[in-house]
Amino acid sequence: MASTYTSNLGVEKIGAGEQAGTWGTTTNNNLDILDRAINGVGAITLSGTSHTLTTSDGTLSDGGFKVLVLGGSPSGTNTITISPNDQDKMFFVHNSTSQTATFTQGSGGNVNVPAGAKALIYADGAGSGAAVVDLLDSLTFGGTKLTATASELNLMDGGTSAGTTAVADGDGIVTNDGGTMRQTTAATFSTYFNANLVTVPSAITSSSATLTPGSAQSIYQKVDTSSNNVALTLAIGSLAIGQYIIVDKTSSSNTLTLSYPSNSQGVSLGNSVSFAIAINQNGSIFTFVESIKY
């Protein structure tokens, strides 16, 4: 009985009583075919717009590699035909060319591997109607199907193309919540930022007081001098660079005197002055003071 070959790799099965004295050569060749199919990495050079990836019976061939590294200089989208069309195949693909590679085996469906992309594909060997399938398409995590488009994934991967889409309250923003990635609304972020941007304490009415900013907050402080003169000390040590204190003198009666213990600077607001602004430049001193009159 003559030799036959396996359906998918073309491994030679020696017929009974055949190849006396030479079967070792055939066996070693079969082992090489299996070795290539299990872990072989093949460099496939593409040119033009078509290429045939063939697996030949009993022969080490390009179609027998497990990993296909596509190279060369194709002139456009290159259609790679897996042959024969009745063999089941599975390939890890790395398309290192500058063109899309389209894998086909029959009329049942193809897989496009973009330039520079990687894919895990299989061909079902169904003959003229054979299909090639991308195993990473419809990828799921924890039972949830991923539906992101390529452009959406590119944004997460550091894409620099920015649009002008308006942000609405209900839009989602991804945030790291103590190590767990979550999505919350833009409105929630807005509420948080507004609450932590500027704090507005109750009006100061006593003749002397110290204003101490909380961490990560600027202050809008009203001071009521209608009953007496007020001396206000601004303790600025907890302000970050760029944060500020606005002092609003709400009465035209009496005076408001500001002092800064870090550098002994101060300004006195008479009864014709409305409010003062002090800008914190470096976290320790106010370097700009502006007073505005009624």
Model confidence pLDDT, tens digit, residues 110-164: 999 999 999 999 999 999 999 999 998 877 666 666 666 767 766 666 667 777 8
- Tell me: the pLDDT tens digits for 172-211? 888 888 888 889 998 888 777 766 677 888 999 999 998 8
Is the separation of the CB atoms in 199 and 244 below 8 Å? no
The one-character DSSP state at 213 is P
Instruction: Report the percent of the chain where pLDDT is more than 70.
Output: 77
Tell me how far apart the alpha carbons of residues 237 and 252 are, in angstroms, rounded to a whole number: 30
Tell me the mean pLDDT in the region 28-51.
97
- 88-98: b (≥16 Cβ within 10 Å) or e: ebebebbbebe
Please report the pLDDT score of residue 264 as a whole number: 43
Average confidence score pLDDT of the chain: 84
Residue with tokens 């872990």: 39
Residue type, 71: G
Instruction: Report the percent of the chain where pLDDT is more than 90.
Output: 51
**Bigger pLDDT: 238 vs 74:** 74
Q: Which residues contact 48 (CB under 8 A, 6 or more apart)?
A: 74, 75, 78
Residue type, 95: N
Q: Range with the lowest mean pLDDT among 77-81, 135-139, 285-289?
A: 285-289
Tell me the mean pLDDT in the region 89-116.
96
Element (H, E) at 179: none
| Domain ranges in the chain with CATH number 2.60.120 | 200-293
pTM, whole model, 2 decimals?
A: 0.56
Q: Which residues contact 216 (CB under 8 A, 6 or more apart)?
A: 196, 240, 243
Residue type, 93: V
Say whether 15 sits in a helix, a strand or coil: coil
Tell me how far apart the alpha carbons of residues 271 and 70 are, in angstroms, rounded to a whole number: 82
The topology (CATH level 3) of 200-293 is Jelly Rolls (2.60.120)
- The closest of 218, 232, 293, 224 to 261, measured between CA atoms, is 232
Tell me the mean pLDDT in the region 26-41.
96
